[in-house]
Amino acid sequence: MNVKFDVDKYFLLLSILKHHNYSENKDIKRLMIKVKNIKEKYSDDLFIKIFLENDVEPGFLLPLLFCDKKYKIDRSFVLIKKIYENIFKTKEFQKIYQETIVFQSKLKKEWEDNRDFINKFLDNIFRKKMIMPQLTIYLTHPDLPSGRCYSNYQMAIYGHKEEWPYYNIVYITHEYLHSIFNSLNLNNKKLIHCLIELITDNELRIALNKKGQYFKDKNIKIGHDYLRKTEKIILPYWRKYLKNNNKYNKNIITFYKFLKGLKELK
Ligand SMILES: [Zn+2]
pLDDT digits (tens, 9 = 90+) for 203-261: 999 999 999 999 999 889 999 999 999 999 999 999 999 998 667 788 999 999 999 99
- Residue 45 has what pLDDT? 84
Q: How much distance in Å is there from the Cα of 131 to the middle of ligand 1?
A: 19
Bridge-based pairing state of the strands 135-139 and 3-6: parallel
Q: How much distance in Å is there from the Cα of 61 to the middle of ligand 1?
A: 20
Alpha helices in the chain (DSSP H): 9-19, 26-41, 46-50, 58-62, 69-72, 75-88, 91-126, 167-182, 189-196, 205-209, 225-243, 252-260
Residue whose C-alpha is closest to residue 114's, from 185, 191, 170? 170
Q: How much distance in Å is there from the Cα of 25 to the middle of ligand 1?
A: 25
Residue 6 bridge partners (DSSP): 138
Q: What is the pTM of this model?
A: 0.88
Residue 148 bridge partners (DSSP): 157
Tell me the one-letter amino acid at 17: L
pLDDT tens digits for range 22-44:
999 999 999 999 999 999 998 88
Q: How much distance in Å is there from the Cα of 90 to the middle of ligand 1?
A: 33
Torsion of CA 213, 217, 221, 227, to 10 degrees: -30
**Distance (Å, rounded) from C-alpha 200 to C-alpha 63?**
28
Question: Are 144 and 28 spatial neighbours (Cβ–Cβ below 8 Å)?
Answer: yes
pLDDT over 90 (residue 123): yes
Average pLDDT on 168-190 reads: 93
Q: How much distance in Å is there from the Cα of 181 to the middle of ligand 1?
A: 11
pLDDT tens digits for range 42-96:
888 887 888 888 666 666 666 555 555 555 556 677 788 889 999 999 999 999 9
The gap between the terminal CA atoms of the chain, to the nearest Å, is: 33
Helix 75-88 vs helix 9-19: crossing angle, to nearest 10: 90
Q: How much distance in Å is there from the Cα of 194 to the middle of ligand 1?
A: 9
Q: How much distance in Å is there from the Cα of 248 to the middle of ligand 1?
A: 24
**Distance (Å, rounded) from C-alpha 110 to C-alpha 156?**
18
